[in-house]
Amino acid sequence: MKQILQILILLIIFSCNKIEVSKTEVEAIDKVIQFYGGQVNRSIGFKTANWKKTDYFELQVSKSDLLNNEQRYLTEQAGNIAYIFYTNLKDEKSNYNEIRVKIDLDNGTSQEYNFSTTELKEIEELYPEIEKTNNFIRDADYKSLIRDSDYKSLATQNGEIGVTENSLKNVFDQRTSEFGNIKQIQNQGFSFHKSEYRGDFINVKEVILFDKNAEDMILSYDRKTKKLIAIH
């Protein structure tokens, strides 16, 4: 009887993974491919725990040059994959409780990540704050950036706390004098963290595209207040 039950469960899971995806889901997958290139396989399924059912959509990404070159930030990139897919689901967002991401690298290793749609919605709600920060940086409006952040605890890469308008200006002036003007700031994902000093916060990974170079930038936001608390 136990063997029959196990076979039935496997058949149910197999059937779930063969469910046809909707047109909206196909378009959302295409958005991921446009960003990362490579190949994306998909599957749909569910899991049960404590009599609670969780519906998930899984994206398996492979042969992506960007991901193979960004192994230091795979967690953030996985978050970006889930976020791109989730936000492009439009009216179908409520169909799933979880977006799963599996990244297959060319070196033969794989990493798996799970993101609840609650977490992805939290990032979606944070996005206007991220855009506001990016606009301040693009416009070199460091006074407004400081005013809009948790300036008393705002930190930079060298650990400086309570940074000033001038200190931020010096950091970015040094880069623009060397690499030229900022052409674009591109979001490339997020990760959740907790520390004794900062509590719960979100790291947002971005790339600043200058005329002559590209540099990584991490923006940290307090999960409760949504205020910027660090720039790395």
The pLDDT tens digits for 102-151 are 999 999 999 999 999 999 999 999 999 999 999 999 999 999 998 888 75
Confidence of residue 34 (pLDDT cuts 50, 70, 90): very high
| Shared domain check, 130 and 109 | no
- Containing domain of residue 52, as a range? 2-121
Q: Look at residue 15 and tell me whether its pLDDT is greater than 90.
A: no
Contact present, 75 and 117 (Cβ < 8 Å)? no
- Amino acid 155 reads A
Contact present, 202 and 218 (Cβ < 8 Å)? no
| Shared domain check, 115 and 15 | yes
| Shared domain check, 156 and 110 | no
Overall number of domains in the chain: 2
| Shared domain check, 71 and 145 | no
Q: Which helix (H) or strand (E) holds 194?
A: strand 182-195
| Shared domain check, 226 and 133 | yes
| Shared domain check, 147 and 87 | no
Confidence of residue 11 (pLDDT cuts 50, 70, 90): very low
Query: Tell me: the pLDDT tens digits for 203-215?
Result: 999 999 999 999 9
| Shared domain check, 130 and 113 | no
| Shared domain check, 222 and 140 | yes
- Is this structure's pTM higher than 0.85? yes
Region at 199 (left for phi over 0; alpha for psi -120 to 50; beta for the rest): left
pLDDT for 166 equals: 87
| Shared domain check, 63 and 19 | yes
| Shared domain check, 134 and 38 | no
CA distance 208 to 216: 6
**Are β-strands 52-62 and 98-104 bridged in parallel, bridged antiparallel, or unpaired?**
parallel
SS3 104: strand
CATH number at residue 199: 3.10.450.100
| Shared domain check, 99 and 24 | yes
